[in-house]
Chains A and B, each alone.
Chain A
Amino acid sequence: MSETQTLNPESGQGDRIELESAVVRFAGDSGDGIQLTGGQFTVASALAGNDLTTFPDFPAEIRAPVGTTYGVSAFQINFGGRRINTSGDAADCLVAFNPAALKTNIDKVNRGGLVIVDSGNFGPRDLKKAGYEVNPLEDGSLEGWNVVPIDISRLTLEAVADSGLGKVDALRCKNFWALGLIYWVFGRDRAPTAEWIEQKFGRKDAAIAKANVDALNAGHAFGETMELLQDFHGYRVPKAELPPGLYRTITGGDGFALGLAAAAQLTETEVVFASYPITPASPILHHLVKLTAYGVTTHQAEDEIAAACVAIGASYGGAIGVTSSSGPGIALKGEAIGLAVAAELPLVIINTQRAGPSTGLPTKTEQSDLYQALYGRNGDTPLVVLAPNSPADCFTMAIEATRIATKYMVPVMVLSDGYIANASEPWLIPDVDSLPRIPVTFRQDPEGYLPFKRDPDTLARDWAKPGTPGLAHRVGGIERDSETGDISYDPANHQRMTDFRHAKVAGVARDIPPQTVDQGKERGRLAVVGWGSTYGPIKRAVTNLRAEGLDVSHIHLRHIWPLPENLGALLDGFDQVLVPEMNTGQLLTLLRATYAKPYEGLSKVTGQPFKIAEIEAAVRSRLEG
């Protein structure tokens, strides 16, 4: 079902304050429907023509005790009339449904920002559960913000009084009441959300659907009629200038799933995706299970190792094996990935990184598995490493990983992270028919077949799948003769095979785009070099600094191993190179080791993405004074 619609021109917003962009944050109990509320606001903002980026910030616990600080779930959206690169350093507007949400989120709101709280949830018990001794709405501690206490709970109950719902169900509508109010604040159209509510609840329970729509409308009417702040008539955020075409929103999880389905069609080869549940990687599986008709077979394995082995078995069997996990699961897959390197089979491994070590912070983002991707196996075991820089780029990189894996008969590790996985952004839907086909050929000719004979150009061996007459052969993890594939303990053969494996992966560098400069000059005083999800904050920071006249450029790597052939020369054109990473300097070490230059790092490992201001400050301190 397609619900394509053209945006209507805005109207009746004469008295509103115009903002180039705004950041809104919703926070409440994990059972309050925060993510759903945020999702609806995202759609409304996209339909209003804004560019945007969203980021859900939820706890690892599914339903922590109600009202506690560790049960708070939040959703942040940055939207605007200009290109939006991050979910925003700090919020301009916070909606907090209880004291715990206020307590854990107030420091993420700009001073002077609008803070709407459900004062109906600020009783003595609620305050105690959040750890407040005194009501923060009364003790003056929130003086720096424009706090608007509204008894959203009571107003919601009033709004849905004739719905026939019991109190518990009626109170569940309060997120839509608040959403209605925020729609008024930013001049958003309620109709698409009302439609969505009808579709979601209408068939099962018309009363619940009606109550939620009533709450949405009541919240909006409250904004229209009551003066939230003196002389405040809401904000107006203009449309962004986006390239024309048909759009949808996309998360990193969606990007990988759709990209793998596209890869199945571009290769005309079935994809077998095997994984084991793990945060924050599971959304890829959840999406792919719906894409069986598109040539993707999914398998929930008994453990991480099995997931990797099912994918490898599938590749041996002639499908494109894909496995996915997060760092701890990738650690378990290590030996199996080594087998795929040794047997020279295509394999795509997606690592949605999270903060480590060990269990670490499962729902928080980090980029600390780069060493693991490069080196986390026994033996000299090279593979290809890619890193998408945004949710939409996951689509592109899933296809690129498949191309390289099948062309070179090699595992490809794709490094995403918790931010990219869950963040969403508008995506100009590409025309898949215009993408280059990925030719996959299976050996058919038994004449002269040698399982480990290589293509002289790519050094890839032939892919011969079981069932092909005359090509019966054995492969395995014991070192293989460089032609027959039979077990070989010959010292010279092991040297030769190790060299082949290295040269094959190194040769991929000739088959990837040369590194370009994302923003700024090709030579200059300072280059900021990033990879993965730091793209947004680096891009915005460099845009801002260049507008101030600073000589800074942004280079973003998407092919991490092998590195683009021209990268060393490119970096030589800069006096300084700064590498911001959400780890303690892993890409930095790789670049220093490769080019033997004193590049500098900028490390952040708080489980939160970089703020634009943090990167700006690091660049300034090197270029000013």
Chain B
Amino acid sequence: MNAPTTPAKLTPKDFATDQEVRWCPGCGDYAILKSVQKVLADLKADKDKTVFVSGIGCSSRFPYYMDTYGFHTIHGRAPAVATGVKMANPELDVWIVTGDGDGLSIGGNHLLHIIRRNVDTQILLFNNEIYGLTKGQASPTSAIGTRSSSTPEGSVDAPLDPIKVAMGAGARFVARTADKWIKEMPDVLKAAREHRGCAFVEILQNCIVYNDAVFGEFTGKEAVPGTYIHVEHGKPLLFGGGRNEPPVKGIRVKPGTFKLEVVTLGENGISEADVLVHDKTDPVLAGLLAAMTGPDFPVAFGVLYEDAAPVHDDSVASHKADARKKTPDVSINALLKRGRTWMVEGPGA
């Protein structure tokens, strides 16, 4: 048997399949695919122990382009299938790829439950605030007023915030990144993979055909300074300087309230020492950061929350180990004879 050994150096190409990638030219999914392939190469991931599970939608074609094990399942159900994969083999590194429609609409229930169970997986939710593959209907994350093929006069339904949904379900790792944060995204994905438990990553992703530039202002090279902040554990919440410029603003708790406020460094005697330091283990701060939106606040990117908790895989394993310890004889013949039995003697007995 010629089992392949993991080479000393892997490249993103080692994780690419021979399949032609069929997303629209300019789709944000390409950047995410590249980033994931880069991360797995950097981490020297074993492709034979890596599984990508997806639902239905543009994002869910992802597994076909990853030279790992992959399962393209049915609409919304990837978290449930992934849970089954982990129950069969907890040693696998399982990634779930879903979208705002797949994960938050038709599959909303499964998303809640894989998170509350804390199954050791990474969930990448590509949020483009629209249904792409079905030709541009409003999604559960579309902003009110979104004009789409199903809402020509503008959508009237309030959107869900994926991060709040995840945190409401008890997520112990919550991060946000964007297709256009090419430099920053790999670190977020690495942190998600290294987290033991269910790691939820919202990836803002541009749908060039049906919802173009909806995140343009605050993601990527063209982002307007002051509209975004990259948070890092243990570092002050500073932002607003633009690319390669020192930060000019910070975030602090507004005195006398439970609210955040934006302060300008050097104004009214404000210095870096007045600015909040990001503590990723603080769920309240994570909630406040996740809720920040323009124009008054920057949109927060990075690992917003991470705090370890018991993992489903371990609980299942220890339950099995306990059961085996309590049952020294696991023969089925002994099992069938447990409880009330009686002997019927033969005629000559």
Chain A partners chain B: yes
**Chain A contacts to B: CB under 8 angstroms:** 1-7, 43, 46-47, 49, 192, 241-249, 258, 261-262, 265, 270, 272, 274, 291-295, 297, 299, 301-303, 305-307, 309-319, 321, 335-336, 338-339, 343, 428-433, 444-447, 465-478, 486-487
A313 touches B68 (CB 8 A): no
Of the candidates B64, B85, B335, the one whose C-beta lies within 8 Å of that of A317 is: B85
- Minimal beta-carbon separation of A488 from chain B (angstroms): 11
**6 A-B Cβ contacts within 8 A?**
A299-B83, A309-B77, A336-B74, A446-B1, A466-B69, A472-B69
Does residue B195 face the partner (Cβ distance < 8 Å to A)?
Answer: no
Does residue B8 face the partner (Cβ distance < 8 Å to A)?
Answer: no
Q: A303-B109, A466-B85, A470-B2 are in contact. Are A429 and B343 (CB under 8 A)?
A: no
Does residue B240 face the partner (Cβ distance < 8 Å to A)?
Answer: no
B337 and chain A: residue at smallest CB distance: A2
A46 and chain B: residue at smallest CB distance: B342
Distance between Cα atoms of A537 and B222 in the complex (Å) = 78
Question: Which secondary structure dominates chain B's binding surface?
Answer: mixed
A428 and chain B: residue at smallest CB distance: B344
Query: A2-B341, A467-B48 are known contacts; what are 9 more A-B pairs with Cβ within 8 Å?
Result: A5-B343, A303-B109, A312-B81, A312-B84, A316-B84, A335-B74, A432-B332, A446-B3, A474-B69
Enumerate chain A residues within 8 angstroms of B101, measured Cβ to Cβ.
none
- Minimal beta-carbon separation of A376 from chain B (angstroms): 16
- Minimal beta-carbon separation of A430 from chain B (angstroms): 7
A297 and chain B: residue at smallest CB distance: B87
Enumerate chain B residues within 8 angstroms of A295, measured Cβ to Cβ.
330
B330 touches A314 (CB 8 A): no
- Minimal beta-carbon separation of B52 from chain A (angstroms): 8
- Minimal beta-carbon separation of B54 from chain A (angstroms): 8
**Chain B contacts to A: CB under 8 angstroms:** 1-4, 17, 19, 47-49, 51, 53, 56, 63-64, 66-75, 77, 80-89, 91-92, 109-110, 112-113, 316, 319-320, 323-324, 326-327, 330-333, 335-347, 349
Which residue of A302, A307, A343, A447 has the most chain B CB atoms within 10 A of its CB atom? A302
B80 touches A306 (CB 8 A): yes
- Minimal beta-carbon separation of B1 from chain A (angstroms): 7
A469 touches B3 (CB 8 A): yes
A478 touches B81 (CB 8 A): no
Q: A303-B109, A335-B74, A476-B73 are in contact. Are A429 and B85 (CB under 8 A)?
A: no
A293 touches B326 (CB 8 A): yes
B4 touches A469 (CB 8 A): yes
Q: A4-B342, A5-B342 are in contact. Are A474 and B88 (CB under 8 A)?
A: no
Of the candidates B2, B89, B319, B332, the one whose C-beta lies within 8 Å of that of A261 is: B332
A466 touches B51 (CB 8 A): yes
B63 touches A294 (CB 8 A): no
Q: Pick the 10 closest A-B CB pairs, nearest first.
A: A313-B84, A476-B72, A317-B88, A309-B80, A244-B346, A293-B327, A292-B323, A313-B81, A319-B88, A474-B70
Enumerate chain B residues within 8 angstroms of A473, measured Cβ to Cβ.
69-70
Of the candidates B109, B113, B331, B344, the one whose C-beta lies within 8 Å of that of A247 is: B344
Of the candidates B1, B66, B75, the one whose C-beta lies within 8 Å of that of A444 is: B1
A6 and chain B: residue at smallest CB distance: B343
Distance between Cα atoms of A262 and B332 in the complex (Å) = 6
- Minimal beta-carbon separation of A87 from chain B (angstroms): 20
Of the candidates B1, B88, B349, the one whose C-beta lies within 8 Å of that of A272 is: B88
Q: A317-B92, A319-B87 are in contact. Are A339 and B342 (CB under 8 A)?
A: no
B329 and chain A: residue at smallest CB distance: A293
Distance between Cα atoms of A302 and B49 in the complex (Å) = 27
A321 touches B336 (CB 8 A): no
Q: A244-B349, A292-B319 are in contact. Are A310 and B335 (CB under 8 A)?
A: no
Of the candidates A249, A318, A343, A444, the one whose C-beta lies within 8 Å of that of B89 is: A318
Enumerate chain A residues within 8 angstroms of B81, measured Cβ to Cβ.
309-310, 312-313, 316
B70 touches A475 (CB 8 A): yes
Which residue of B81, B92, B346 has the most chain A CB atoms within 10 A of its CB atom? B81
Enumerate chain A residues within 8 angstroms of B346, measured Cβ to Cβ.
244
Q: A261-B335, A270-B88, A297-B316 are in contact. Are A313 and B17 (CB under 8 A)?
A: no
B85 touches A313 (CB 8 A): yes
Q: A246-B343, A467-B48 are in contact. Are A474 and B71 (CB under 8 A)?
A: yes
Distance between Cα atoms of A306 and B89 in the complex (Å) = 18
Distance between Cα atoms of A339 and B75 in the complex (Å) = 11
Enumerate chain B residues within 8 angstroms of A299, measured Cβ to Cβ.
83-84, 87
Of the candidates B3, B112, B343, the one whose C-beta lies within 8 Å of that of A470 is: B3
Distance between Cα atoms of A446 and B330 in the complex (Å) = 35
A429 touches B341 (CB 8 A): yes
B80 touches A305 (CB 8 A): yes
A432 touches B336 (CB 8 A): yes
Distance between Cα atoms of A73 and B349 in the complex (Å) = 41
B72 touches A478 (CB 8 A): yes
Distance between Cα atoms of A339 and B347 in the complex (Å) = 54
Enumerate chain A residues within 8 angstroms of B4, measured Cβ to Cβ.
446, 469-470
B345 touches A6 (CB 8 A): yes
B326 touches A314 (CB 8 A): no
Enumerate chain A residues within 8 angstroms of B323, measured Cβ to Cβ.
292-293
A309 touches B340 (CB 8 A): no
Enumerate chain A residues within 8 angstroms of B51, measured Cβ to Cβ.
466
B327 touches A311 (CB 8 A): no
Q: A292-B320, A432-B332 are in contact. Are A313 and B80 (CB under 8 A)?
A: yes
Distance between Cα atoms of A474 and B65 in the complex (Å) = 9
B82 and chain A: residue at smallest CB distance: A313
- Minimal beta-carbon separation of A27 from chain B (angstroms): 25
Distance between Cα atoms of A43 and B341 in the complex (Å) = 9
B64 and chain A: residue at smallest CB distance: A474
A3 touches B3 (CB 8 A): no
A292 and chain B: residue at smallest CB distance: B323
Distance between Cα atoms of A558 and B341 in the complex (Å) = 28
Enumerate chain B residues within 8 angstroms of A433, measured Cβ to Cβ.
333
B113 and chain A: residue at smallest CB distance: A302
Which residue of A47, A307, A309, A446 has the most chain B CB atoms within 10 A of its CB atom? A309
Enumerate chain B residues within 8 angstroms of A241, measured Cβ to Cβ.
347
B91 and chain A: residue at smallest CB distance: A467
Distance between Cα atoms of A405 and B25 in the complex (Å) = 42
B345 touches A244 (CB 8 A): yes
Distance between Cα atoms of A248 and B342 in the complex (Å) = 6
Distance between Cα atoms of A441 and B319 in the complex (Å) = 27
Q: A248-B340, A472-B47 are in contact. Are A467 and B92 (CB under 8 A)?
A: yes
Enumerate chain A residues within 8 angstroms of B66, measured Cβ to Cβ.
474
Distance between Cα atoms of A477 and B86 in the complex (Å) = 20
Distance between Cα atoms of A246 and B91 in the complex (Å) = 42
Enumerate chain B residues within 8 angstroms of A292, measured Cβ to Cβ.
319-320, 323-324
A314 touches B85 (CB 8 A): yes
Distance between Cα atoms of A49 and B342 in the complex (Å) = 9
- Minimal beta-carbon separation of A317 from chain B (angstroms): 3
Distance between Cα atoms of A6 and B19 in the complex (Å) = 69
Of the candidates A293, A310, A431, the one whose C-beta lies within 8 Å of that of B80 is: A310
- Minimal beta-carbon separation of B282 from chain A (angstroms): 29
Enumerate chain A residues within 8 angstroms of B339, measured Cβ to Cβ.
1-3, 248
Distance between Cα atoms of A94 and B166 in the complex (Å) = 57
Enumerate chain A residues within 8 angstroms of B53, measured Cβ to Cβ.
313
B74 touches A339 (CB 8 A): yes
Distance between Cα atoms of A476 and B338 in the complex (Å) = 43
Distance between Cα atoms of A246 and B51 in the complex (Å) = 48
A472 touches B67 (CB 8 A): yes
Distance between Cα atoms of A478 and B72 in the complex (Å) = 8
Enumerate chain B residues within 8 angstroms of A2, measured Cβ to Cβ.
337-339, 341
Q: A311-B84, A431-B333 are in contact. Are A3 and B341 (CB under 8 A)?
A: yes
A310 touches B83 (CB 8 A): yes
- Minimal beta-carbon separation of A269 from chain B (angstroms): 10
- Minimal beta-carbon separation of B169 from chain A (angstroms): 11
